[in-house]
């Protein structure tokens, strides 16, 4: 896990996308577990808030879509 500082106007999704190149539900759930007091800032984070970013793969494993002719 690593710590990063937020930039003024960051949301959790924007921060995850910038740091992990993903902002799916699994990444967001892990971030909230590591930073339980982050919700006190509201939906838009102020500048210079320390956030612990979870160690995850950059991209989740691809799910093969089901086609009608499969």
List the chain pLDDT tens, one digit each, 70 residues.
Answer: 899 999 999 999 999 999 998 888 999 999 999 999 999 999 999 999 999 999 887 665 566 777 777 5
**pLDDT of amino acid 60:** 58
User: Is residue 64 one of the residues assigned to a domain?
Assistant: no
User: Is residue 63 one of the residues assigned to a domain?
Assistant: no
Sequence-separated (6 or more) residues with CB below 8 Å from residue 15: 4, 6, 31, 45, 51, 53
Specify the pTM.
0.75
User: Is residue 62 one of the residues assigned to a domain?
Assistant: no
**pLDDT of amino acid 58:** 63
User: How many domains does the chain fold into?
Assistant: 1
The answer to whether the Cα torsion of 16, 19, 24, 27 is positive or negative is: negative
Strand partners, 4: 51
User: Is residue 40 one of the residues assigned to a domain?
Assistant: yes
Tell me which DSSP letter residue 45 carries.
B
**pLDDT of amino acid 1:** 82
Note down the domain range covering 40. 2-53
**pLDDT of amino acid 67:** 77
Rounded CA Rg of the chain? 15
């Amino acid at each position: 896990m690593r710590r990063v500082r937020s930039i003024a106007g960051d949301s959790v999704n924007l921060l995850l996308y910038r740091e992990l190149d993903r902002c799916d539900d699994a990444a967001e759930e892990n971030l909230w577990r590591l930073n339980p007091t982050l919700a006190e800032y509201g939906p838009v984070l102020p500048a210079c808030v320390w956030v612990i970013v979870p160690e995850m793969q950059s991209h989740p494993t691809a799910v093969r879509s089901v086609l009608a002719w499969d």
